[in-house]
């Protein structure tokens, strides 16, 4: 049956081998019927391919087997066919056909040996040994095309009645064979036979490149269904007619089977390579999985493997209902986040998670037990990121441990891109408690440093503050003496005395205000956010620094916005910023060599949403390279400076959502500006 299938599919050499195998199996089993049928079918195959002698021999064996079986009528029928073949047989002395001259047993043996090889190296060695032996060549090459170039895969040499084969893999060159002969054979796909005379005449350039001069050479293409599988090159250095027609015919027969074998070997090699790559990939996958599991288990952060498949199905349902803007949908349906929590399945968590939440196993980690109300907002944003396949997703939120402790965490999630499923999503929670505590400690230290800086600044203003307080105190003493005089008159002038007492009271209030502002600057109090009128703030600071400005003979100009802009912040901290900028300007203009000193302070609206305050001086100015560094902590250009004033000022402005910067003034001096977000004035101010 296999032989018949091979015959129908056109695999003639394989069919020939299978017929012989079937006949031999029938003989060994002693089944005359099966031997008769196999011989008759083989005879039909050989007669179909014009191999008359082989066909007649098979018919004679089939007839004898039918006789042994007792099928006399069938045997008589075959006798008639055998006599007909004998009548058509060539007369004695006539030349038999090339195929009839082939040693069929040798052909079958050779094709069997070729077809059983699958490993390329073994096939190359077997193929070249058989071809060189049957062709009578001294040397042979097997050439296979790869990536547009011909490569020598095997080289066979005959010596001392033995054939030595070397399996190679190198590009073919003119020293191996005439490249023009190779080109001709691959183009026309027919054997090319050349003797030494024709080689010298038609291919002189090729002849000069060869390592040795052959007397005969033969190039045979290995073709399978019009596809070129390779080329066999054979040469003989002894005889000019070393390759007669029957040998070429034999090589063509073997060549077709060799082409099939080469193609099978190529497919086998590709399959082996695929298997190796697959095994390598599987091994790498196992190693990667092992590394991942070790990393997952030993990571210091809380890791969760979560299955969002049911959430994904719910999101698909919403899409089918026309929902595409999930952010807006979840904002209007906050209950969906709670619903989605119940749809998430926990695949696994690591030890760090159990330790963080105080759990003994993942079964204890129920959503209701660890989620806080504020967590749901972050969870809703997480679901939006899943719906939009937006990665990475990060959000600060909080969890509740099983002991009831609040835990500030950073939620981080890597969302797999489409079309991957959401059945295995990695979510990490980083414990922020230590960082939060550090930030709070840093904030307290910064506030304390700012307070110390304010105290130091007030110390520098001690003389000016004393002068400011002395003025209302002196006025109070003068007004009190005048009131006493008005009362000692006869009769007492009560009206004038009352007016003088009222002035005394106002001067006392003025002195109290000065003391109050100084105390506010130096006392230790938590920041307080409130609406602050910028123009009022500027005037308050100018009251504190006015005497210092006059003492240094500095001309003061103010241009305050008529819009009375308002910002939101801590009044004391903003006073500190402005106070520091004004005192820096005063000091810059008090150095020797400054002929005219002018301090300009202005406020204005910058666009619709910002308030800009500017302090402009005509002092020594900013040196090249220091504009950006002047805001660095501990950087100062003053011999007795700490280098903290401008750094703290910028921190305060940034904490209020603003910005502080410096630029050179023209023709000399510096300009410091800070901008803060504007707010609407308070319609119901306190007091």
Domain containing 628 — which CATH number? Answer: 3.30.565.10
By the 10 Å C-beta count (0-12 exposed, 13-18 middle, 19+ buried), 118 is classed as: middle
Q: Are 115 and 130 in contact (CB under 8 A)?
A: no
Higher pLDDT, 599 or 471: 599
If phi > 0 it is left, if psi is from -120 to 50 it is alpha, else beta; for residue 166 that is: beta
Kindly state whether residues 350 and 423 are assigned to the same domain: yes
Higher pLDDT, 147 or 16: 147
- The CATH number given to whatever domain includes residue 372 is 3.30.450.20
- Using one digit for the tens of pLDDT, what is the confidence trace for 410-438? 888 888 888 888 888 888 888 888 888 88
Q: Is the dihedral of CA 247, 248, 252, 257 positive or negative?
A: positive
Is 278 within the bounds of a domain?
no
Kindly state whether residues 139 and 260 are assigned to the same domain: yes
Kindly state whether residues 75 and 150 are assigned to the same domain: no
pLDDT of 7 above 50: yes
- Using one digit for the tens of pLDDT, what is the confidence trace for 489-529? 888 888 888 887 887 887 677 677 666 655 655 555 556 78
Kindly state whether residues 519 and 534 are assigned to the same domain: no
Task: Name 217's bridge partners.
Answer: 194, 235
Alpha-carbon gap, residue 265 to 557, rounded angstroms: 97
Cis peptide upstream of residue 63 (ω within 30 degrees of 0) = no
Query: In the 8-state DSSP scheme, what is residue 593?
Result: T
Is 293 within the bounds of a domain?
no
Is 502 within the bounds of a domain?
yes
Is 52 within the bounds of a domain?
yes
Kindly state whether residues 151 and 253 are assigned to the same domain: yes
Alpha-carbon gap, residue 564 to 611, rounded angstroms: 10
- Using one digit for the tens of pLDDT, what is the confidence trace for 649-676? 888 898 889 999 998 888 888 999 999 9
Confidence of residue 33 (pLDDT cuts 50, 70, 90): confident
Is 610 within the bounds of a domain?
yes
Is 366 within the bounds of a domain?
yes
Last residue of a domain, one of 404, 431, 458: 431
Alpha-carbon gap, residue 120 to 268, rounded angstroms: 8
Query: In the 8-state DSSP scheme, what is residue 639?
Result: T
For 143-169, what is the mean pLDDT? 87
Last residue of a domain, one of 83, 99, 115: 99
255 is in which domain, residue-wise?
104-270
- The rounded mean pLDDT for the chain is 79
Kindly state whether residues 445 and 426 are assigned to the same domain: no
Kindly state whether residues 203 and 329 are assigned to the same domain: no
- Using one digit for the tens of pLDDT, what is the confidence trace for 85-121? 777 665 555 444 444 444 444 455 555 555 555 566 7
Percent of the chain with pLDDT strictly greater than 70: 82
Percent of the chain with pLDDT strictly greater than 90: 9
User: What per-residue confidence (pLDDT) applies to 194?
Assistant: 83
Distance from chain centroid for Cα 131: 54
Least confident window among 195-209, 222-236, 349-363: 195-209
With H, G, I as helix, E, B as strand and everything else as coil, classify residue 620: coil
User: What per-residue confidence (pLDDT) applies to 469?
Assistant: 64
Is 285 within the bounds of a domain?
no
Task: Name 612's bridge partners.
Answer: 604, 675
pLDDT of 572 above 80: no
pLDDT of 482 above 90: no
pLDDT of 455 above 70: no
Q: Are 532 and 571 in contact (CB under 8 A)?
A: yes
pLDDT of 620 above 60: yes
Kindly state whether residues 198 and 332 are assigned to the same domain: no
Least confident window among 338-342, 391-395, 545-549: 545-549
For 338-344, what is the mean pLDDT? 83
Higher pLDDT, 519 or 302: 302
Kindly state whether residues 38 and 180 are assigned to the same domain: no
Number of Cβ atoms within 10 Å of the Cβ of 352: 19
- The CATH number given to whatever domain includes residue 21 is 1.25.40
Q: Are 403 and 383 in contact (CB under 8 A)?
A: no
Instruction: Let me know how long the chain is.
Output: 687
Q: Are 13 and 45 in contact (CB under 8 A)?
A: no
Confidence of residue 79 (pLDDT cuts 50, 70, 90): confident
For 181-207, what is the mean pLDDT? 79
User: What per-residue confidence (pLDDT) applies to 677?
Assistant: 93
Higher pLDDT, 12 or 391: 391
Is 281 within the bounds of a domain?
no
User: What per-residue confidence (pLDDT) applies to 565?
Assistant: 92
Kindly state whether residues 467 and 411 are assigned to the same domain: no
Alpha-carbon gap, residue 435 to 654, rounded angstroms: 20
Least confident window among 67-76, 275-284, 344-353: 67-76
- The CATH number given to whatever domain includes residue 242 is 3.30.450.40
pLDDT of 342 above 80: yes
Number of compact structural domains in the chain:
5
For 461-470, what is the mean pLDDT? 56
Kindly state whether residues 49 and 161 are assigned to the same domain: no
For 136-146, what is the mean pLDDT? 88
Kindly state whether residues 137 and 159 are assigned to the same domain: yes
């Amino acid at each position: 049956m296999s032989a018949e299938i091979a015959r129908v599919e056109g695999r003639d050499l394989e069919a020939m081998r299978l017929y012989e195998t079937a006949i031999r199996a029938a003989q060994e089993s002693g089944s005359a019927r099966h031997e008769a049928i196999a011989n008759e079918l083989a005879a039909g195959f050989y007669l179909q391919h014009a191999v008359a002698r082989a066909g007649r021999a098979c018919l004679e064996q089939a007839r004898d087997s039918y006789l042994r079986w007792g099928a006399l009528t069938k045997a008589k029928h075959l006798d008639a066919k055998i006599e007909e073949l004998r009548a058509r047989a060539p007369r004695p002395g006539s030349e038999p056909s090339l195929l009839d001259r082939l040693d069929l047993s040798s052909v079958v043996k050779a094709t069997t040996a070729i077809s059983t090889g699958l490993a390329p190296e073994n096939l190359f060695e077997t193929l070249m040994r058989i071809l060189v032996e049957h062709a009578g060549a001294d040397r042979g090459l097997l050439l296979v095309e790869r990536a547009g170039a011909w490569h020598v895969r095997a080289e066979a040499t005959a010596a001392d009645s033995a054939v030595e084969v070397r399996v190679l893999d190198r590009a073919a060159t003119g020293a191996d064979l005439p490249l023009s002969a190779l080109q001709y054979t691959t183009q026309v796909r027919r054997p090319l036979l050349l003797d030494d005379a024709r080689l010298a005449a038609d291919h002189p350039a090729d002849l000069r490149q060869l390592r040795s001069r052959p007397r005969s050479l033969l190039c045979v293409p290995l073709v399978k269904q019009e596809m070129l599988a390779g080329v066999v090159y054979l040469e003989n250095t002894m005889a000019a007619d070393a390759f007669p027609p029957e040998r070429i015919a034999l090589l063509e027969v073997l060549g077709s089977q060799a082409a099939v074998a080469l193609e099978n070997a190529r497919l086998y090699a590709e399959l082996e390579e695929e298997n190796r790559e697959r095994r390598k990939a599987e091994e790498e996958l196992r190693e990667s999985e092992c590394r991942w599991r070790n990393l997952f288990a030993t990571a210091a952060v809380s890791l969760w493997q979560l299955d969002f498949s049911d959430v994904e199905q719910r999101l698909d349902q919403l899409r089918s209902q026309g929902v595409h803007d999930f952010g807006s949908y979840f904002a209007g349906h906050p209950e969906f986040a709670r619903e989605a929590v119940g749809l998430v399945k926990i695949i696994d968590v690591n030890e760090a998670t159990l330790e963080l939440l105080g759990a003994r196993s993942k079964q204890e980690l129920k959503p209701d037990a660890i989620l806080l109300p504020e967590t749901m907002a972050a969870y809703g944003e997480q679901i939006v990121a899943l719906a939009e396949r937006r990665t990475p997703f990060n959000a600060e939120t909080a969890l509740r441990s099983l002991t009831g402790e609040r835990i500030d965490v950073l939620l981080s999630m890597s969302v797999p891109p489409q079309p991957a499923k959401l059945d295995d999503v990695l979510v990490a929670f980083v414990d922020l408690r230590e960082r939060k505590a550090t930030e709070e400690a840093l904030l307290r230290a910064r506030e304390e440093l700012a307070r110390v800086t304010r105290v130091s600044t007030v110390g520098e203003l001690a003389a000016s503050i004393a002068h400011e307080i002395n003025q209302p105190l002196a006025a109070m003493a003068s007004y009190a003496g005048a009131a006493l005089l008005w009362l000692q008159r006869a009769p007492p002038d009560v009206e004038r005395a009352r007016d003088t007492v009222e002035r005394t009271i106002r001067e006392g209030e003025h002195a109290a205000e000065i003391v109050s502002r100084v105390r506010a600057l130096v006392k230790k109090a938590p920041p307080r956010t409130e609406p602050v009128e910028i123009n009022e703030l500027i005037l308050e600071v100018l009251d504190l620094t006015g005497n210092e400005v006059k003492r240094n003979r500095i001309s003061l100009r103010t241009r305050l916005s008529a819009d009375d802009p308002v910002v939101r912040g801590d009044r004391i901290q903003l006073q500190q910023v402005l106070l520091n900028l004004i005192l820096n300007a005063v000091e810059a203009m008090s150095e020797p060599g400054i002929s005219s000193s002018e301090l300009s302070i202005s406020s204005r609206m910058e666009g619709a949403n910002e308030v800009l305050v500017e302090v402009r001086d005509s002092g020594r100015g900013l040196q090249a390279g220091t504009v950006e560094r002047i805001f660095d902590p501990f950087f100062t250009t003053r011999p007795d400076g700490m280098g903290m004033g401008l750094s703290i000022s910028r921190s305060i402005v940034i904490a209020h959502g603003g910005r502080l910067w410096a630029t050179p003034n023209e023709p000399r001096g510096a300009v410091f500006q800070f901008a803060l977000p504007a707010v609407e004035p308070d319609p119901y101010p306190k007091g």
